[in-house]
Structure 1
Amino acid sequence: MEFLTKNSLNLNSGREIIAKNFANWSSGNKIIDNLIQEKQLKYDKYDVVFEWIPYIKLIDIREIGNNGLATAIWKEGLLHYCRHEWIRIPYEKVALRFLYDSQNISDEFINEVKSYDSLLFEGILDSNYGLSQNPETKDYILIFSQEYFKLCCGKCGKKYENRQNRRNEWCKTCQINHLKNNFTNWTSGNEKIDDFIQKMQLKINKFNDAIFEWIPYNE
């Protein structure tokens, strides 16, 4: 959207031209285009403009484990309105969240993208920059400021579910997966008792919840 930075348009004029510019870019998918346009039309002066970011504009992509997270450099950088002019901050270091198996757009995918709006509103996440797509795998990618890494687990990539868990870097998803993987390592000797204990364990919700266990009599 270089038309904004070159012309130094005011905020209201910028909104109007953003809408007029819809015909000049496309993700290649009508649903994605509509989603981005909807978010752009909600822009206010405290936001970064949510954009379609061509994959070629992302360089030095470095994956973090196998959890769908990565860091990258966005060559053009974020677009926002600052001190009465539209500016970009080039070569911005960003966080990437790869949405695997997202080639076919579903309601779950749309809800995943929109779920971050509430984090922005609450001030938990400072910026959600846009969407991109890996041209080889066709997986879509959400692009954030690096603050995103304070909101998600470094192992599985899932968002922490509440402030306490986030502060203590405790991940409910990882904890439940660990408990499930451990089911085969213990038994009460009674299938119904085992099922009951397993169900109780999977109700864990916070980092300081006690884990219900089978406790051998000699321990």
Structure 2
Amino acid sequence: MDSFIKSVKKLIKPYNYDFECNCDFECSAKHFKQNFKNWTSGNDHIDKFIQNTQQSEHTAFVKKALEWIPYDRLYNIKYIIEDDEFGKMYRANWIDGFIYMWNRNNQNWERGGQNMFVFLKILNNPASVTLELINKLSAHTTNYEVKNVLEWISYDRLYDIKYISEDDEFGKVYRANWVDGCINIYYGDSIWNYENQDWERVGQNMFVFLKILNNPTSITLEFINKIAVSQVSHEVYGITKDPEIKDFMVVLKKVYNSIHFQCNFKNWTSDNNDIDMFIQNTQLSERTYYEVKNALEWISYDRLYDIKYIAEDDELGELYRANWIDGFIYIGNYDIDKFIQDTQLSVHTYHEANNALEWIPYDRLYDIEYILEDEEFGKLYRANWIDGFIYIWDDYIQNWERKNQNMFVILKIVNNPANITSEFINKIAVPHVAFGITQDPETKYYIGVLNYTYKKYAYNTMYFQRNFKNWTS
């Protein structure tokens, strides 16, 4: 027991009995201090260590403070595994759930996750309570993500399996629906469902693609590395096996756009084999996932209207102008999707979503009005945003809680969609300036949706600009 006490003593900062919080708001540390007299672990050193973590919680939402949990607030305690690093591990239900924030009305802590699953680490040797261990155990604000793992997918969890194409690189490719959907990789604290004790999944009955491995011996480390490289966006979900023909199959999220083009060859023709072959070759060379870069397509003449002669060019001959009903093939912008996802995955908090951007559908904005032109970012508009910004995750409704519905926002237009560069994205992503990104469905321009901080800047600039005509040196 002496070694246990000594190890805990090392963790304790000098205790400030005259602790006074200088926060200009009602922070959590004050409420923790008021409750010191109402609990004890039975050991002064452990009490002081826990109190130290609570004294440092100068926040409205509790993030890192530990608390003393009476053992009788745990139930259904079951041994689950022994881990080399942590020793014996048990699972239990915690009646009260974790501290969330101070409730002014009830004058008590508001808690979330009542009767939630928790894990217990048994200290076989009390002396193993070291600073390093406490740091590991108390890092409860860290979110863990499932990124690069594959899973075994039972073949009977796939249905509507249809042959679609044969690709030079991938061989035969099939399309199917996957009953279960993939493991949720977007919210680090949600991937494992503690209540159901199973993975949280998204995309039930989603479309997937199956690549047939005719020769099982071709499943080599080289091949696995090859298909797994594409897991930047979780391209590969796992591996399955056809129980009848015994072929192994890789379950993919995406296949090259060339395969989608190939599936459509039978649905169009120019009535000229040479032209068909030329267009198809450009489509078969489209080894892309997220955007169509160089592929041509056959455009039916009846999809054009208001055709008007405009000029004759020495090189190209007669030129006409027309409107194209359908518009060009467009599959979004992977760089912007990835950038928004990265900002969301970097929000390692339970409650506040401070710096995450989101994709904002354009039809969620209304009363869009031009206000001025900015030399750095081009035209600026004002609008109302129906939904308002993401505030915190609501555990009870299992969705984001939002604030300021129908709020004013500023829209920064990019005159040329090609100007969506890393530099521009980083500029609009300055913390507390941007809520997200949207796109005008007609012009295809990307737009930064900015908050009141930039609004004040924009309006001040606008007011000065409007007054230019009223003075001169």
TM-score (norm 1): 0.51
Q: Which structure 1 residue ranges, 5 or more long, are not aligned?
A: 1-7, 121-125, 157-168, 172-219
Match of 2:411 among 80, 96, 102: 96
Distance across 2 between alignment mates of 1:138 and 1:93: 22
Alignment of 1:41-190 (within 5 A): 41-45=345-349, 46=352, 47=354, 49-67=356-374, 68-81=379-392, 86-89=400-403, 90-101=405-416, 103-104=417-418, 109-117=421-429, 119-120=430-431, 126-152=432-458
Bigger CA radius of gyration: 2
**Matched residue pairs, number?**
140
Alignment of 1:197-208 (within 5 A): none
Say whether the 8 Å CA contact 1:58–1:72 is kept in structure 2. yes
Please state whether the residue corresponding to 2:383 is helix, strand or coil.
strand
Tell me how far 1:34 sits from its aligned partner.
0.9
Q: Deviations over 1:63-86 (max 9, x none)?
A: 103441111111111112179774
Tell me how far 1:137 sits from its aligned partner.
1.0
CA, structure 1 residues 61+84, in 2 after alignment: closer, same or farther (shift >3 Å)?
same
Distance across 2 between alignment mates of 1:88 and 1:48: 14
Q: From the two aligned structures, give the one with the greater strand fraction.
A: 2
Say whether the 8 Å CA contact 1:128–1:143 is kept in structure 2. yes
Other-structure match for 1:15: 187
Say whether the 8 Å CA contact 1:99–1:141 is kept in structure 2. yes
Tell me how far 1:153 sits from its aligned partner.
7.7
**One-letter code of the match for 2:371?**
I
Other-structure match for 2:334: 30
Kindly indicate whether structure 1 or structure 2 has the higher relative contact order, using CA contacts under 8 Å at least 6 residues apart. Answer: 1
CA, structure 1 residues 139+116, in 2 after alignment: closer, same or farther (shift >3 Å)?
closer
Say whether the 8 Å CA contact 2:434–2:449 is kept in structure 1. yes
CA, structure 1 residues 84+147, in 2 after alignment: closer, same or farther (shift >3 Å)?
farther
Please state whether the residue corresponding to 2:332 is helix, strand or coil.
coil
Tell me how far 1:110 sits from its aligned partner.
2.0
CA, structure 1 residues 83+34, in 2 after alignment: closer, same or farther (shift >3 Å)?
closer
CA, structure 1 residues 136+154, in 2 after alignment: closer, same or farther (shift >3 Å)?
farther
Tell me how far 1:139 sits from its aligned partner.
0.8
Other-structure match for 2:68: none
TM-score (norm 2): 0.25
Q: Deviations over 1:119-138 (max 9, x none)?
A: 42xxxxx3411000111111
Tell me how far 1:20 sits from its aligned partner.
6.2
Report the identity percentage.
Answer: 26
Say whether the 8 Å CA contact 1:94–1:145 is kept in structure 2. yes
Please state whether the residue corresponding to 1:65 is helix, strand or coil.
strand
CA RMSD of aligned residues (A): 3.9
**One-letter code of the match for 1:111?**
E
Q: From the two aligned structures, give the one with the greater helix fraction.
A: 1
